[in-house]
């Protein structure tokens, strides 16, 4: 006796869903930037169960003394995938993890690497932000990722960079840390490799997608951080979001927008124009080519206006 059509349809639907879930699973792979330097380029869209919250770029640097991971991912399980991907590049142990900011995918995987004995490094300017928002980030991730967030515990760094410019020798390679008061988050810190002239910008640079000015952002410091990038003249920039890029593209997709936004909102504040009118009159046309621009620009504009009111 043949099974009823409804049963076959249910089986087919189940197979379709399983195939869809498999197709959506994130593939963590580090791509070579230059000798000994690699980047994982995450999706430019939102956090989803499919990308497991890894919608940002991360880095891997190989040194004679071990591997250095730039950012630890959004979850414990995501961190394990990053570790597996790093081991496919090199058998070197991950001895250091650098968190470039306070956003979830920069540091919520720390607990996994701490258990392996890695030293966790971040800028002290982000400590309060990490403490204040870590649990909120985790709850948001749990709502999106479900079981894929299991095992994640907000784990603070064990070593804090305190100056605006600091240099460390990690495993025989010089790393320079640049912090100018934050950008997207207060702890946003750039990692410069002078020998290879590669910059891991963290969320100071967005390309291909619109940056986000959130309540803890500071656009004035953001542009001061960008000025540091210009002074370094990197050969390669691994941005916080978007493909590995160059200085001209970073200028076009990040700096130009921030300069235009601040100039427009400063004029509005100086002339007593209210925030709603200032937001409506900002020329969005040059930036609509960036992913998520239409959704993010109104909030970016209003928060920048409020920041300029306080200056």
| pLDDT above 70: residue 75 | yes
Task: Report pLDDT digits (tens) over 288-300.
Answer: 999 999 999 999 9
Strand locations in the chain, DSSP E?
31-34, 37-40, 58-63, 66-70, 94-98, 119-123, 159-161, 165-170, 173-178, 190-193, 198-206, 236-241
CA distance 78 to 113: 11
pLDDT at 284 over 50: yes
Residue-averaged pLDDT of the chain: 93
Distance between CA atoms of residues 70 and 122, nearest Å: 10
Lowest mean pLDDT, pick from 17-31, 212-226, 237-251: 17-31
Buried b (16+ CB within 10 A) or exposed e, 260-298: ebbebbbebbeeebebeebbeebebeebeebebbeebbe
**Above 60 in pLDDT, residue 7?**
no
Is a pLDDT exceeding 60 seen at residue 19? no
Q: Which of 279, 264, 196, 187 is nearest to 232 (CA)?
A: 196
- The arithmetic mean of pLDDT across residues 170-181, rounded, is 98
Give me the number of domains the chain comprises: 1
Q: How far apart are CA 223 and CA 228, in angstroms?
A: 9
Residues 187-215, mean pLDDT to the nearest whole number: 98
Q: Which domain holds residue 231?
A: 26-246
Would residue 273 count as lying in a domain?
no
3-class DSSP state of 207 = coil
For the segment 302-311, what is each residue's pLDDT rounded down to a tens digit?
A: 999 999 999 9
The mean pLDDT of 28-50, rounded to a whole number, is: 96
311 domain residue, yes or no: no
pLDDT at 53: 94
Structure confidence at residue 20 (pLDDT): 37
Least confident residue range of 43-52, 57-66, 84-93, 175-184: 43-52
Average pLDDT over residues 94-111: 98
The stretch 187-209 carries a mean pLDDT of 98
Q: Is the pLDDT of residue 267 over 60?
A: yes
Residue 128 placed within a domain: yes
**Residue 97 maps to which CATH number?**
3.60.15.10
- Between 12 and 105, whose confidence is greater? 105
205 belongs to a structural domain:
yes
Q: Which residue has the higher pLDDT, 25 or 173?
A: 173
Whether the per-residue pLDDT at 17 is higher than 80: the answer is no
Mean per-residue pLDDT, 198-204: 98
Residue 84 lies in a domain: yes
pTM across the whole model: 0.91
CA distances from 5 to 2, 11, 16, 19 (A): 9, 10, 16, 21
Residue 21 lies in a domain: no
Q: Which of 1, 60, 59, 48 is nearest to 23 (CA)?
A: 48
Per-residue confidence (pLDDT) for residue 25, from 0 to 100: 63
What is the predicted pLDDT for the residue at 48? 94
């Amino acid at each position: 006796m043949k099974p009823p059509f409804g049963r076959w349809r249910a089986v087919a639907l189940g197979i379709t869903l399983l195939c869809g879930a498999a197709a959506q699973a994130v593939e963590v792979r580090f791509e070579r930037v230059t000798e000994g330097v690699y980047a994982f380029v995450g999706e430019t869209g939102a956090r989803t169960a499919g990308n497991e919250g890894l919608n940002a770029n991360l880095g891997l640097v190989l040194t004679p003394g071990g591997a250095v991971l730039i950012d630890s991912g959004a979850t414990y399980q995501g961190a394990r995938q990053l570790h597996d991907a790093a081991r496919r590049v090199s058998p070197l142990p991950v001895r250091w993890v650098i968190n470039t900011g306070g956003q979830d995918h920069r540091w919520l995987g720390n607990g996994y690497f701490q258990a392996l004995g890695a030293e966790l490094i971040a800028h002290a300017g982000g400590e309060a932000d990490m403490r204040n928002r870590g649990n909120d980030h985790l709850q948001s991730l749990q709502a999106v990722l479900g079981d894929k967030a299991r095992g994640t515990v907000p784990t603070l760094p064990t070593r804090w960079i305190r100056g605006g410019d600091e240099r460390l020798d990690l495993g025989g390679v010089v790393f320079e840390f640049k912090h100018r008061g934050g950008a997207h988050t207060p702890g946003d810190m750039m990692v410069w490799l002078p020998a290879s002239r590669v910059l891991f910008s963290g969320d100071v640079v967005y390309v291909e997608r619109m940056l986000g000015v959130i309540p803890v952002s500071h656009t004035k410091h953001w542009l001061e951080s960008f000025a540091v990038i210009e002074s370094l003249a990197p050969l390669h920039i691994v941005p916080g979001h978007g493909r590995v890029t160059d200085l001209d593209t970073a200028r076009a997709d990040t700096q130009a927008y921030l300069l235009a936004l601040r100039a427009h909102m400063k004029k509005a504040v100086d002339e007593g124009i209210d925030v709603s009118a200032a937001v409506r009159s900002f020329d969005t046309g040059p930036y609509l080519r960036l992913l998520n621009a239409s959704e993010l620009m109104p909030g970016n504009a209003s928060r920048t206006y409020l920041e300029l009111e306080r200056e």
